[in-house]
Structure 1
Amino acid sequence: MSLTQFGPVYSGRASAVRAGEVILSLVASGLVGMRGWAGVRRLQQPYDRSLQLGLDRLAAQCVQAGSSPPVGVADLVGVWCAERPVDSWPLEFDPDAQVSGERLLIGGEPSEFCQEWAVEARDVVAEVHENALVKHIKDTAAQLGRPELYARWRLFVTEHAVLGPDEFLAAKNAVLDVPQWPTWLEESYGPVTVEASAGGQVAVCGGCGQWIAPRANGRVRCRVWRCVQRHDLPEPTWTEAQGARLLEPELVRFVALPGRPELDLARRLAARGARVVLYPKLDALDLVAFWPGGHSIGVDVKDWHSPYLLARRIKTFPRWGSGDPHAYRRGYLVVPRDRLRANRSYMKILTQRSKALQEQPHIEVVCDDDLVASCPDLGVMGEVICGP
């Protein structure tokens, strides 16, 4: 098969579904690649290559289906992605993909649906920077015999989206016995750009704790799914932009935002008396918790909009012998309650579609509220620590 073709030749429904998923993923990846963390501001911006590839394949599919294709990238972005739900495109999808009514752009920004499909083909900058930095920190922590350093770095960046100059200096000097630590912080945070500030200040969301780039009209409103849904979202706090540092966009997207529900669960368990170890063994699990009575659990938290895509991402839980300090008796894959409220078939699709879960019957899929409720509350405060 020639690589210069618009797309591969498929036969059968399964192949048609795969073709649709490839096109959706390319277009979604292109939109996210255009956006960074600051948003798709102008159609005059250089187009991500994935967007052009997605357009080429979509156009070929439209011709094959006898329908009119998008007239260039501007039409694809401004009309197809912003106004037309994906199920109106001439593509086939598995029913469990739940594309009905979903749009790739909402209010000029990539929707959560869009961002998750883009994960299948992440933009090059994020792939290189986030993956390379995380790998470097893990490797260095392992070489130093200090695996807790990775957990400590991850905890810090999850909790600190914006740092003033004095805060940034203090953060770099927080681990004086590890000369690599300041470099990790330098690579994790960048200077405030013009697009990220408004009136000489940077906004930090009162819900998710991440920095908010003002929209083209100057409005400051968080785009994170949970924050968009909230009617009681606290007003953002503001930090002087002069000399401040912002968490790099790819770390916001792939480390800090996923880390929020992980930390929330850890602290709720600790409030009931559990001892919670974050990211043990260089993130082999999100956390291991020890109940007040000694029962132990291993947990991975999965905060995804699409159970169909999540099912592909679940991996085998590690098993450690009884003599290991992080050995656990029961494994749990935890989904936040609000995901289940928004999608009644979430658990069914996830368990039926995940080969990893089928091969690990000892792993139970539960919502966060139910797991917290299962921890005995003896009225004694536990603790959350960074795991070795």
Structure 2
Amino acid sequence: MSLTQIGPVYSGRASAVRAGEVVLSLVASGLVGMRGWTGVRRLQHPYDRSLQLGLDRLAALCVRAGRDAPVGVQDLVGVWCAERSMNLWPLEFDPDAQVDGERLLIGGEPSEFCLEWAVSAQDVVSEVHENALVKEIKKMAAQLGRPELYARWRLFVTEHAVLVPDAFVAAKNAVLEVPQWATWIEESYGRVTAEMTVGGRAAVCGGCGQWISPRADGRVRCRVWRCARRPDLPEPNWVEARGAWRLEPELVRFVALPGGPELDLARQLAARGARVVLYPKLDALDLVAVWPDGYSVGVDVKDWRSPYLLARRIKMFPAWGADDPHAYGRGCLVVPYDRVRANPNYMKILARRSEALRAQPQVEVISDRDLVASCPDLGVMGEVVCGP
């Protein structure tokens, strides 16, 4: 007697969940690979390999589950990713992944949910350039005995998305005693192209401060998800494009955008009198803040929509002796308040899912708003610095 198998064949639910996460990561990575910084390109072959692999695995799971599979990549992208929320896909997910109602494409662009599930290591160009440059800067700064140079570079590129010619030359000459500095700036920026401009000018978002490439319909609207959701997003700032330079897309994605919440927090703490050191010991932490009364806090800022994914990426906090110039008495993993407000279970999922947090119970998970409120305000302005 033959039996018809209905549903996936797995050794257990954990295997089914892993299979679902692999498909989701592959498809999300493929969508991001098609996107670049300027939006999802017109569908045409060859497709991103991750997208094709995701389609193949999804089709196999659909067959095992007795469900209709996507009919090619265009159906996967145009219907499944753009119109169906993930809970309607024939995949299993852990409840803490919170996939209900989430779509991979919104308005033709990868959603924030999609961006976080994408595996950035498969973006070869970005991975090679961003990682190689960052590693080179850290290595040289260490060899020179000038670890603050890395923090200074990171601060600069986070704050300067577009440079007019004179500003670009000034940036290259900002640290004349370190000849490598000019090379780091050159490798961090590329020319502003005609496709980036409107009427001979380049747009810089009034929210996140990063450059905006116009959409196909000519509209200029920031694609960063926190900006896209803001009803009060300021109008873009416009920069003369002739001879201008813009931050490389991979540095926008992996350095400048994550750096925004870190710098915002640093400045809020400084406004209450703290002395804040950025990226101490070549980014061992995002910042160490010394309160006006001398109490010190080591901080790692994590701006993630998904606590389920963030939990996998939390690392151990460094242990520095009391005589270390960056010693801190309190370790804090800081999450932007709007993330916690939008997801009441954020902190619970993070605590439940993070092995690193369980291994270091002394580390406090706190919102940026609560950390700022805990800093005593004596009415004296502090400072944000890149060195001891």
Q: Tell me the TM-score normalized by structure 1.
A: 0.96
Q: Secondary structure at the match of 1:239?
A: strand
Q: 1:353 to 1:9 in 2, by over 3 A?
A: same
**SS of the residue 1:183 aligns to:** helix
Write the distance in 2 (CA, Å) between the matches of 1:109 and 1:354: 30
**Amino acid aligned to 1:160:** H
Divergent runs of 4+, >4 A: none
- What amino acid does structure 1 have at the position aligned with 2:317? F
Contact 1:297 1:330 in 2 (8 A): yes
CA contact under 8 A between 2:308 and 2:350: conserved in structure 1?
yes
Partner of 1:321: 321
1:269 is matched with 269
Q: C-alpha offsets along residues 280-304 of structure 1, whole Å, 9 cap, x if unaligned?
A: 0000000000000000010000000
In 2, the alpha carbon distance for the partners of 1:119 and 1:201 equals: 34
Q: Match for residue 225 of structure 1?
A: 225
Percent of aligned positions that are identical: 81
For residue 198 of structure 2, give the secondary structure of its aligned residue in structure 1.
Answer: coil
1:54 aligned residue? 54
State the SS of the aligned residue for 2:319: coil
1:137-152 equivalences in 2 (<5 Å)? 137-152=137-152
CA distance in 1, matches of 2:15, 2:384: 47
**Any unmatched runs of 5+ in structure 1?**
1-7
2:219 is matched by which residue type in structure 1?
A: R
Cα deviations by residue, 1:296-318 (Å, 9 ceiling, x for unpaired): 01000000000000000000000
Instruction: For 2:10 and 2:29, locate their aligned partners in 1 and report how far apart those are by CA, in whole Å.
Output: 22
Counterpart-to-counterpart distance in 1, 2:41 and 2:92: 30
Contact 1:41 1:216 in 2 (8 A): no
Distance 2:108 2:377 in 1: 46
Superposition deviation, residue 46 in structure 1: 3.9
Paired residues of 2:121 and 2:127 also in contact (CA < 8 A): no
Please state whether the residue corresponding to 2:297 is helix, strand or coil.
strand
Partners of 1:52 and 1:133 in 2: CA distance: 30
1:342 matched residue in structure 2: 342
The equivalent of 2:238 in structure 1 is 238
Q: Is the 8 A contact 1:25 1:121 kept in 2?
A: no
- What secondary structure is seen at the aligned counterpart in 2 of 1:44? coil
C-alpha distance in structure 1 between counterparts of 2:350 and 2:120, whole Å:
17
Deviation at 1:121, TM superposition (A): 4.4
- Aligned 1:176-195 pairs, distance under 5 A: 176-195=176-195
Which residue number corresponds to residue 80 of structure 1?
Answer: 80
For 2:62, give the aligned amino acid.
Answer: C
Match of 2:363 in 1: 363
Question: CA shift at 1:213, angstroms?
Answer: 1.1
Displacement of 1:236 in angstroms is 0.3
Give, in whole Å, the separation in 2 of the partners of 1:32 and 1:198: 25
Instruction: Quote how far apart the aligned CAs of 1:66 are.
Output: 1.1
Structure 1 residues 1-388: aligned runs within 5 Å: 10-44=10-44, 46-119=46-119, 121-387=121-387
Inter-CA distance 233–290: structure 2 relative to 1 (3 Å threshold): same
Q: Is the 8 A contact 1:105 1:114 kept in 2?
A: yes
Q: 1:4: which partner in 2? A: none
Superposed displacement of residue 9, structure 1: 8.1
Contact 1:202 1:211 in 2 (8 A): yes
CA contact (8 A) 1:25 1:120 kept: no
Give yes or no for contact 1:26–1:121 (8 Å, CA) kept in 2: no
1:92-128 deviation per Cα after TM superposition (whole angstroms, max 9, x unaligned): 1000000111111111111111000014644111111
Question: 1:164–1:240: 8 Å Cα contact kept in structure 2?
Answer: yes
How far apart, CA to CA, are the structure 1 residues paired with 2:121 and 2:13?
23
Which residue in the other structure is 1:5 paired with? none
What is the CA distance between 1:165 and its match in structure 2? 1.1
* Cα pair distance change 1:305/1:317, threshold 3 Å: same
Superposed CA offset, 1:118-152 (max 9, x none): 14644111111111111111001001111000000
Taking the aligned partners of 1:170 and 1:195, their CA distance within structure 2 comes to 26
The one-letter amino acid paired with 2:128 is: V
Residues 24-54 of structure 1: CA deviation (Å, up to 9, x unaligned): 0011111111111111031126421111111
Find the residue that maps to 1:246 and give its secondary structure.
strand
Shift of 1:193: 2.8
Q: What's the offset of the Cα at 1:10?
A: 4.3
Could you tell me which amino acid in structure 2 is paired with residue 47 of structure 1? Y
Between 228-237 and 145-154, report the one with greater CA deviation: 228-237
| TM-score normalized by the length of structure 2 | 0.96
For the 8 Å contact 2:9–2:64, the answer to whether it is kept is no
Contact conserved, 1:34 with 1:46, CA < 8 A, in 2?
A: no
Q: Could you tell me which amino acid in structure 2 is paired with residue 354 of structure 1?
A: S
- For 2:272 and 2:138, the matched residues in 1 are separated by 31
| Residues 244-281 of structure 1, C-alpha deviations (whole Å, 9 max, x = no match) | 11111111111100000000000000000000000000
Q: For residues 198 and 81 of structure 2, what CA distance do their matches in structure 1 show?
A: 28
Deviates more, 1:81-90 or 1:8-17: 8-17
Q: CA deviation at 1:343?
A: 0.6
